[in-house]
Amino acid sequence: MARSCKCHITGETGTTDTFVKIGKYYYKSQEIYDAEQRQKEIYKSLIDYICYEFLGYGDGQPFPTSLPKKIKELSFYDYETILETFQKCHDDICYWIEHKQFETEYGKLSYIFAMVKSKLSDVHSDRVRREKQSENTKKTEIECGDLSSLGTKHRGKDISSFLNDDEL
**Cβ contacts of residue 22 below 8 Å, gap of 6+?**
30, 33
Task: For CA atoms 44, 50, 52, 53, give the dihedral sign.
Answer: positive
Please count the other Cβ atoms lying within 10 Å of the Cβ belonging to residue 95. Answer: 10
Please count the other Cβ atoms lying within 10 Å of the Cβ belonging to residue 65. Answer: 8
Burial of 85 (0-12, 13-18, 19+ CB in 10 A): buried
Share of the chain above pLDDT 70, in %: 83
Q: Where are the domains of the chain?
A: 4-134
pLDDT for res 1: 72
Question: Per-residue pLDDT tens for 144-165?
Answer: 555 566 666 666 666 666 676 6
Q: Which band of pLDDT confidence, cut at 50, 70 and 90, is reported for residue 143?
A: low
Taking the C-alpha atoms of residue 11 and residue 48, their distance in angstroms, rounded to an integer, is: 29
Task: For CA atoms 127, 130, 134, 139, give the dihedral sign.
Answer: positive
Q: Which band of pLDDT confidence, cut at 50, 70 and 90, is reported for residue 61?
A: confident
